[in-house]
Amino acid sequence: MRSISQLKPLIPGIKYGTGRSTSILPIIFGILIGLFLGHILDFEHETEIDTITKSQINDLYSHKTPDTEKDIYLRCIILIQSFTEKPHKFVESVKDTYGKRCNETLYFTSIKKLEENFVGQLDIYHIGGDLDPRKYHIFHEILAYSFGIKKKYKNVWSIILNEQNYLVTANLRHFLSRLSSEKLIVVGRISNIKSFYDYIFPFSSTVMFDINAGIAISEGAVEKIVKNQYSCSPSGWFMPSYTGKSILQCCKALNFEIWDPIDNENKRLFLSKSPRNLFATSQYAVFGKTFEVL
């Protein structure tokens, strides 16, 4: 870490060794440290959203099981995080479990060795730089690339996960079969997540999609997110850098349907915790509640 004396010549407009620099530099240094800590301590404190936005959650549809279920084409997009230790073990786990139950499973990694190990076994793609799904410009780029792959099927849904998620595909298919993939719909976990940075600037919104829980996007919504140059582009002036905030902001701007489904035991379908918490005793997630865009 640079000392204050080393930082002084780097601050434009302040002369080294003056009384003014002595009083201002600690403040500037403190702000820089705060920004740095806010960056490295990303979104570590999470609380339930239901108690905070209870008035925004409504029962819009019947809980009755549909007479027939549509044939859902499930495209699973696995984003292998660069900072994960022993990522090959997680990839093997996905490959041997729910990866086989998706209609199509695409893997994205920035780890060249990992790509070489699984080439020929998996549809695996390499991207330059570090792969962090929380960074919206990376998430958007991968979503755009996957959208460009030709599809010959109807009712296509993209579910974006990291390598440590577990997916109960039967539950997800059961839920998605009641929705139209042609409509603008995003399904995921809506949470109130605060970082160290949010305690420094307490007026920013902390309600967002929890990307660590995974997120399902209809084909219509994917196309809108990828092609919209104003409300969903990562290069927009007021677009947050965190994926969860950006997707929610995009959904609100374009009036998407946003769902955070629950099951018969009032448990969520999308969980960011240990995989064993995903195994509820009830058979299926039901068409329970929606997060209404205001």
Q: Are 135 and 117 in contact (CB under 8 A)?
A: no
Which two tokens mark 144?
A: 């755009």
CA-closest candidate to residue 164, choices 241, 83, 245:
83
Q: DSSP string spanning the chain?
A: ---HHHHGGGSTT--TT-HHHHHHHHHHHHHHHHHHHHHHSTT-EEE-STTTSGGGEE--S--SPPSS----EEEEEEE--TT-SSHHHHHHHHHHTGGGTSSEEEEEES-HHHHHHHBTTBEEEE-SS---TTBHHHHHHHHHHHHHS----SSEEEEEEETT----HHHHHHHHTTS-TTS-EEEE-EEEEE-HHHHHSTTS--EEE-GGG-EEEEHHHHHHHHH-SSSS-TTSTT--SBHHHHHHHHHHHTT-EEE--EETTS-BS---S-GGGG--SSS-EES--EE---
Q: What is the layout of strands, in order, in the sheet containing 104-109?
A: 57-58, 290-291, 257-259, 185-188, 215-218, 156-162, 73-79, 104-109, 123-126
Report the relative pairing of strands 45-47 and 285-286 from DSSP bridges: unpaired
- Ordered by start, the domain boundaries in the chain are 4-40, 49-291
Q: Taking the chain (294 residues) in consecutive chunks of 10 residues, what is each chunk's mean pLDDT?
A: 35 43 69 61 45 34 49 94 90 93 94 89 90 92 90 89 90 90 93 63 72 94 92 85 91 92 77 55 48 45
pLDDT computed for residue 97 by the predictor: 93
pLDDT computed for residue 204 by the predictor: 61
pTM beyond 0.85, yes or no: no
How would CATH label the architecture of 49-291? Alpha-Beta Complex (3.90)
Rounded Cα distance, 95 and 169, in Å: 14
pLDDT computed for residue 240 by the predictor: 84
pLDDT computed for residue 243 by the predictor: 92
pLDDT computed for residue 22 by the predictor: 53
pLDDT computed for residue 207 by the predictor: 84
pLDDT computed for residue 103 by the predictor: 94
Rounded Cα distance, 166 and 163, in Å: 8
pLDDT computed for residue 194 by the predictor: 60
pLDDT computed for residue 44 by the predictor: 44
Q: Are 204 and 198 in contact (CB under 8 A)?
A: yes
